[in-house]
Chains A and B, each alone.
Chain A
Amino acid sequence: MNLDLLVAILMTVAGAATPLLIAGLGELVVEKSGVLNLGVEGMMLIGAVTGFAVATSTGIPVLGALAAMGAAAAASMIFAVLVLTLMANQVATGLALTIFGTGVSALIGAPFVGITTPTFGTIFPEALTASPLLRLVFGHSPLVYFGLILTVAVAWFLNRSRAGLILRAVGESDSAAHAIGYPVLKVRYLAILFGGAMAGLAGSYYSLVLTPMWAERLTAGRGWIAIALVVFASWRPGRMLAGAYLFGLVITMELQAKAAGFNMFAPELLAALPYLATIAVLAIISAAKRGGANAPACLGKPFRAAA
């Protein structure tokens, strides 16, 4: 295989992995605080359409990405009020958020179908991307680098910073954290806000970088993979990175197999590959660990301050 093709494939892997990584890290922080937000897919779609709309209207993709984060964070606040303040069921509310996001994004996106948008360039000078190997290091979209930095930042935040310690404490035992005097709900609001912003950014990556155009349900279920990856990563940022790139590879294999005219299986079956891989990996992990020993103890439970 020639070097150019290999580099192209590896770059596709990084591209496919990045939105999973960013959305997954956001959800990881949310879950570490004890909240299960199944609305990632919906928030990603809201981010994707908002990013696309702002980028095409202003011509500035960075503004699009920022608007995507803001819009998805706003959507996550609807979820937060429902599950934290009103103590609604987190699973049902998360599913509703996904359905809501799918519908709203289709509505907002209707006028934008079929047009293209300005996209992010690379951030490094042209000269650095001349040879294939240099391109592998310097030729990615800025968001690919952002994903890597975010991994380190989230790992540092959770394991080294005091705020991260408090966040983990809230997810581990909300009642104990409350008894010591930490504001459980405030911590969870902030975590959900962060998760929303990251889901929005990941969504905008689809509409501004991967396929610079808008179509209904553009993210095609990748938000669900991001949620599954949190379990796969057993709530650790480092493993989230590995998991996201592994799934990036699976997604790329699917594309490559299609491009190479590999037709032993129906194309629908190939398209199902990443999702089948998700199910397989989750089954293996829970069999090996008997239900994810590392899960935050209060995941998914509503918190009611003791009277």
Chain B
Amino acid sequence: MTATAVSPRLELKGISKRFPGVVANDHVSFQVPAGAIHALLGENGAGKSTLVKIIYGVQQADEGEIVFDGKPVRIGSPREARSLGIGMVFQHFSLFEAMTVLENIALGMDNPPPRRELEARVREVLASYGLSLDPHRHVHTLSVGERQRIEIVRALLQQPKLLIMDEPTSVLTPQEVEQLFETLRRLASEGCSILYISHKLHEIKALCESATILRGGKVVASCDPREESARSMAELMIGGSLKDLSQKSSGAAGKERFVVSALSAPGEPPFGTSLKEVSFAVRSGEIFGIAGVAGNGQNELLAVISGEDAAGISGSIRLDGTELAGLSVGARRRAGLASSPEERNGHAAVPGMSLADNALLSARSRMGLASGGVIRAKAARDYAGRVIEAFSVKATGPGAAAGSLSGGNLQKFVMGREIMQDPAVLVVSQPTWGVDAGAASFIRQSMIDLARQGAAVVVVSQDLDELLELCDRLAVINEGRLSEPMDVKGISIERVGLLMGGIHGGQAAETRVGAKAEAHERRPEPAL
């Protein structure tokens, strides 16, 4: 690289951070020029989050130096970061559900103006970037995309010189992603540097002009994403070659195994979504996808199918012709319906209990881990051990606490626990959420293998790419309604995106924002 007279916006020199037993960052150095969109890539646990927390002052580096606009700086707190001109949009939004948009924005500022003036400035920023958001709505009534806009507006109001985006697109519809990219490109053209963290390599290809790749806390490569393929970057991240998914089922699916018809359910107050006449049918050997933006009834659907939610349900759920509606969770499991909810820790698994005990929780009847009310501890340990072995879960053994596993490993364990019971129907939500590329591809492969053995598999996911890769057919859920299923072959991404945003039929894309706001108004506001 040739030396330039202009100093970079941000330069890291040998940043190291150690936690007991692990080196999160090991002499990380790179620089981001002014107005550049720079990607930070790496698998879970590669040290990306720690690094950005250090830049944003949430944590302090043990060693190394941060140079900002040519001056060495010490960033002791987020407040100091903001005063330098560093803004951050968090992966898990730092928003307050029970408060309004305006209150949330005020909380993110150090010296907010009086609320009228603030509201005027917020509206000004929204208008100038073409974002739609009502400052007076309570956060819990907003879609995930709208929530993210709050964080972005909050950052923009400070007129940042460097904006850090941590996994910003994981929960957005394709159209929302495009809109976000336009905003970011515009910001960059105005001279703001952007440090962009993501797993989604094709997005990085589309957006970023340079990238630093971290593995095990070290910088292992830097590249120009526009000149790399998604595959080559993925291989740099995992430090090995990526396995292809073996061909999904040939489409010669068998008879209908799992039929849900006219399923309706009331949403859990205060913020739940009600299900409205959901119907779909999955054949033997088929993988059926349910796409949609978070909070449109996915959790409710899963709870109703698994039998967790039984109050006020109407409609039918049939497995090989047997009616399951009205049966308990255990009876459904015995009938061959396995399910795994979105939340791993605390819903699919009990973090404080051992893997053997967690195996017992969902596999006791099908695998005979408890008989006559007595636990067969050895059988449970053996089963957990077999799951660990078959799904290459990194754990010390069946006695390890579920909470001690990394997200990807726990997910592998949970999926293995269900799949190895050889279910007739598997229903999973967000099977690869927050899971690194290697584990994600393993989990997807295992679902394909299960389908090949004749099971019907239903995958609920917000990750459209995953569904397109995995499924034979998919449908979109919006506001508790499920669209007509579509064949994945030759599917129109634009149409899926519109369905995710709540548009049915053939309205033009221009009407999307207005019509979407309308869709939200129809959602009953909880009494406050």
A contacts, CB < 8 Å to B: 162, 165-166, 168-169, 172-173, 175-177, 179-182, 290, 293-294, 296-297, 306-307
Which chain A residues border B524 with CB–CB below 8 Å? none
- Identify which of A177, A180, A290, A307 gathers the most chain B CB atoms within 10 Å of its CB: A180
Which chain B residues border A172 with CB–CB below 8 Å? 96-99
A173 B77 Cβ-Cβ under 8 A: no
A173 B96 Cβ-Cβ under 8 A: yes
The 5 closest A-B pairs by CB, nearest first: A176-B94, A181-B78, A172-B96, A179-B94, A293-B270
Which chain B residues border A290 with CB–CB below 8 Å? 269-270
Residue of B nearest to A176 (CB): B94
B96 A181 Cβ-Cβ under 8 A: no
Provide the bound-state CA to CA distance between A290 and B99, in Å. Answer: 20
Stretch at the interface among B104-112, B415-423, B463-471: B104-112
Which chain A residues border B335 with CB–CB below 8 Å? none
Q: Determine how close the nearest CB of chain A comes to the CB of B88; give it in whole angstroms.
A: 9
Given contacts A162-B106, A169-B107, contact A176 B95 (CB under 8 A): yes
Residue of B nearest to A179 (CB): B94
A307 B78 Cβ-Cβ under 8 A: no
Which chain A residues border B107 with CB–CB below 8 Å? 165-166, 169, 177, 180, 182
B526 at the interface (CB under 8 A from A): yes
Residue of A nearest to B88 (CB): A179
Q: Determine how close the nearest CB of chain B comes to the CB of A172; give it in whole angstroms.
A: 4
B78 A179 Cβ-Cβ under 8 A: yes
Which chain A residues border B103 with CB–CB below 8 Å? 165
Partner of B96 from A169, A293, A294, A307 at Cβ < 8 Å:
A169
A297 B19 Cβ-Cβ under 8 A: no
Given contacts A169-B99, A307-B19, contact A181 B106 (CB under 8 A): no
Given contacts A165-B106, A290-B269, contact A179 B58 (CB under 8 A): yes
B90 at the interface (CB under 8 A from A): yes
A181 B79 Cβ-Cβ under 8 A: yes
A293 B269 Cβ-Cβ under 8 A: yes
A173 B97 Cβ-Cβ under 8 A: yes
Provide the bound-state CA to CA distance between A29 and B96, in Å. Answer: 18
Partner of A293 from B57, B77, B90, B526 at Cβ < 8 Å:
B526
Residue of B nearest to A235 (CB): B98
Provide the bound-state CA to CA distance between A226 and B528, in Å. Answer: 23
Q: Determine how close the nearest CB of chain A comes to the CB of B143; give it in whole angstroms.
A: 18
Q: Determine how close the nearest CB of chain B comes to the CB of A64; give it in whole angstroms.
A: 39
Residue of A nearest to B94 (CB): A176
B98 A181 Cβ-Cβ under 8 A: no
Which chain B residues border A162 with CB–CB below 8 Å? 106, 112
Which chain B residues in 490-526 approach chain A with CB under 8 Å? 526
Which chain B residues border A175 with CB–CB below 8 Å? 94
Which chain B residues border A297 with CB–CB below 8 Å? 97-98
| Other A-B pairs beyond A181-B78, A297-B97, 15, CB < 8 Å | A162-B112, A168-B96, A169-B99, A169-B107, A172-B96, A172-B97, A172-B98, A173-B97, A177-B96, A177-B107, A179-B78, A290-B269, A293-B269, A294-B98, A296-B98
Which chain B residues border A168 with CB–CB below 8 Å? 96, 98-99
Q: Mark B235-273, 1 if CB is under 8 A from A, else 0.
A: 000000000000000000000000000000000011000
Residue of A nearest to B57 (CB): A181
Q: Mark B65-78, 1 if CB is under 8 A from A, else 0.
A: 00000000000011
Residue of B nearest to A172 (CB): B96
Which chain B residues border A173 with CB–CB below 8 Å? 94-97
A180 B94 Cβ-Cβ under 8 A: yes
A180 B78 Cβ-Cβ under 8 A: yes
Provide the bound-state CA to CA distance between A188 and B332, in Å. Answer: 47
Provide the bound-state CA to CA distance between A18 and B520, in Å. Answer: 44
Q: Determine how close the nearest CB of chain B comes to the CB of A91; give it in whole angstroms.
A: 19
Q: Determine how close the nearest CB of chain B comes to the CB of A177; give it in whole angstroms.
A: 8
Which chain B residues border A181 with CB–CB below 8 Å? 57, 77-79, 82
Residue of B nearest to A290 (CB): B269
- Identify which of B19, B82, B99, B112 gathers the most chain A CB atoms within 10 Å of its CB: B99
Q: Determine how close the nearest CB of chain B comes to the CB of A34; give it in whole angstroms.
A: 12
Which chain B residues in 396-445 approach chain A with CB under 8 Å? none
Which chain B residues border A180 with CB–CB below 8 Å? 78, 94, 107-108
Which chain A residues border B99 with CB–CB below 8 Å? 165, 168-169, 172
Provide the bound-state CA to CA distance between A169 and B112, in Å. Answer: 15
Which chain B residues in 36-86 approach chain A with CB under 8 Å? 57-59, 77-79, 82
Which chain B residues border A177 with CB–CB below 8 Å? 94, 96, 107
Q: Determine how close the nearest CB of chain B comes to the CB of A234; give it in whole angstroms.
A: 10
Q: Determine how close the nearest CB of chain A comes to the CB of B306; give it in whole angstroms.
A: 21
Provide the bound-state CA to CA distance between A297 and B271, in Å. Answer: 14
Provide the bound-state CA to CA distance between A70 and B98, in Å. Answer: 34
Q: Determine how close the nearest CB of chain A comes to the CB of B163; give it in whole angstroms.
A: 15
A176 B96 Cβ-Cβ under 8 A: yes
Residue of B nearest to A296 (CB): B98
Provide the bound-state CA to CA distance between A166 and B98, in Å. Answer: 13
Provide the bound-state CA to CA distance between A180 and B112, in Å. Answer: 14
Residue of B nearest to A168 (CB): B99
User: Can you list 12 A-B contacts (CB < 8 A)?
Assistant: A162-B106, A168-B96, A168-B99, A173-B94, A180-B107, A180-B108, A181-B77, A182-B107, A293-B269, A293-B270, A306-B58, A307-B59
Provide the bound-state CA to CA distance between A214 and B405, in Å. Answer: 58
Provide the bound-state CA to CA distance between A168 and B103, in Å. Answer: 10
Provide the bound-state CA to CA distance between A247 and B78, in Å. Answer: 46
Provide the bound-state CA to CA distance between A307 and B19, in Å. Answer: 9
Q: Determine how close the nearest CB of chain B comes to the CB of A248; give it in whole angstroms.
A: 27
Q: Determine how close the nearest CB of chain B comes to the CB of A199; give it in whole angstroms.
A: 26
Q: Determine how close the nearest CB of chain A comes to the CB of B97; give it in whole angstroms.
A: 7
- Identify which of A172, A175, A294, A307 gathers the most chain B CB atoms within 10 Å of its CB: A172
Q: Determine how close the nearest CB of chain B comes to the CB of A303; give it in whole angstroms.
A: 14
Which chain B residues border A182 with CB–CB below 8 Å? 107
Provide the bound-state CA to CA distance between A290 and B106, in Å. Answer: 31
Q: Determine how close the nearest CB of chain A comes to the CB of B412; give it in whole angstroms.
A: 25
Q: Determine how close the nearest CB of chain A comes to the CB of B145; give it in whole angstroms.
A: 19
Q: Determine how close the nearest CB of chain A comes to the CB of B484; give it in whole angstroms.
A: 34
Which chain A residues border B58 with CB–CB below 8 Å? 179, 306
Which chain A residues border B82 with CB–CB below 8 Å? 181
Residue of A nearest to B58 (CB): A179
Q: Determine how close the nearest CB of chain A comes to the CB of B225; give it in whole angstroms.
A: 28
